[in-house]
């Protein structure tokens, strides 16, 4: 589905019963990762639209405009609930967080590829370079995956990868991981408890 090919519908048709608002969630074990990303992105987009409308409503003195905004906001709330209901209840907080991180990295990389302003592109590239200062380790990276002899073998093409590659855009790939860190505070606390046990035993 391409949102740019869809025609807008009348606002009255947005309002519907809860049976149609709450749709069947995706299966987290079989869903395409980019389907999850679309759900997160669109849910956040609708939610931010509702928040902005609330904020604008508080500073608008025209009651006619406020009534119209309230009508539109209710429709957007229904749309946001419908998109959010696609997320299954058995998806853990960690899995949801990983989805947000994947979305942030992919959006930043995509914007960096398509940005024509060299200054803005450098800012987007800098965001990707902040990986190691944030506590992650860079195992491998490439700015042209399909011509990388080390990373391309065994590569499985994603939907977006096929799309942007067909347009002649190079594909970026990063392999990062986070090392397990020892919590020194917990270690010190456990050592203190051990000393206390030995002292009073």
Q: What is the pLDDT of residues 132-147, one digit of tens each?
A: 677 777 788 787 888 8
Nearest to 180 by CA among 135, 149, 141: 135
Assess whether pLDDT exceeds 50 at residue 169: yes
Q: What is the mean pLDDT of residues 3-8?
A: 72
Report how far Cα 4 is from the mean position of its chain's Cα atoms: 21
| Domain contains 103 | no
Quick one: pLDDT band at residue 109, thresholds 50, 70, 90? confident
35: Cβ contacts below 8 Å, ≥ 6 apart: 26
What is the tally of structural domains in the chain? 2
Claim to verify: residue 16 and residue 85 sit in the same structural domain: yes
b/e burial code for range 57-85 (CB count within 10 A of at least 16 → b): eeeeeeeeeeeebeeebebbbbbbbbbbb
| Domain contains 3 | no
If residue 138 lies in a helix (H) or strand (E), which one and from where to where? strand 137-142
Range of the domain at 67: 8-91
Nearest to 179 by CA among 146, 132, 111: 132
Question: Cα angle vertex 151, ends 159, 36, to 5°?
Answer: 30
Last residue of a domain, one of 40, 74, 91: 91
Claim to verify: residue 84 and residue 141 sit in the same structural domain: no
| Domain contains 123 | no
| Domain contains 73 | yes
Query: Which two tokens mark 53?
Result: 């409308």
Claim to verify: residue 144 and residue 84 sit in the same structural domain: no
From residue 30, how far is each of 25, 43, 84, 173 by CA, in Å? 12, 20, 18, 23
Q: What is the mean pLDDT of residues 41-54?
A: 86
Last residue of a domain, one of 91, 110, 145: 91
| Domain contains 107 | no
Claim to verify: residue 86 and residue 19 sit in the same structural domain: yes
| Domain contains 195 | yes
Quick one: pLDDT band at residue 102, thresholds 50, 70, 90? confident
Claim to verify: residue 87 and residue 14 sit in the same structural domain: yes
From residue 99, how far is each of 27, 120, 175, 192 by CA, in Å? 14, 25, 16, 39
| Domain contains 114 | no
Claim to verify: residue 84 and residue 137 sit in the same structural domain: no
Last residue of a domain, one of 59, 91, 123: 91
* Integer Cα distance of 117 and 111 in angstroms: 11
| Domain contains 115 | no
């Amino acid at each position: 589905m391409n949102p740019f090919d869809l025609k807008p519908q009348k606002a009255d048709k947005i309002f519907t019963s809860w049976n149609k608002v709450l749709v069947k969630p995706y299966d987290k074990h079989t869903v395409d990762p980019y389907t999850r990303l679309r759900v997160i992105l669109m849910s956040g987009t609708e939610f931010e639209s509702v928040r902005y409308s609330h904020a604008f409503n508080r500073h608008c003195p025209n009651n006619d405009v406020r009534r119209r905004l309230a009508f539109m906001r209710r429709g957007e709330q229904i749309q946001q609930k419908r998109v959010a209901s696609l997320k299954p209840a058995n998806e853990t907080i960690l899995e949801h967080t990983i989805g947000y991180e994947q979305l942030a990295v992919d959006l930043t990389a995509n914007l960096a590829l398509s940005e024509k302003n060299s200054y803005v592109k450098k800012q987007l590239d800098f965001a990707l370079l902040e990986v190691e200062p944030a506590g992650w380790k860079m195992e491998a990276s490439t700015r042209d995956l399909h011509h990388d002899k080390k990373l391309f073998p065994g590569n499985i093409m994603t939907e977006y990868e096929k799309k942007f590659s067909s347009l002649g855009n190079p594909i970026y790939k990063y392999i990062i991981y986070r090392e397990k860190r020892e919590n020194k505070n917990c270690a010190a606390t456990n050592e203190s408890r051990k000393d206390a046990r030995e002292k009073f035993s």
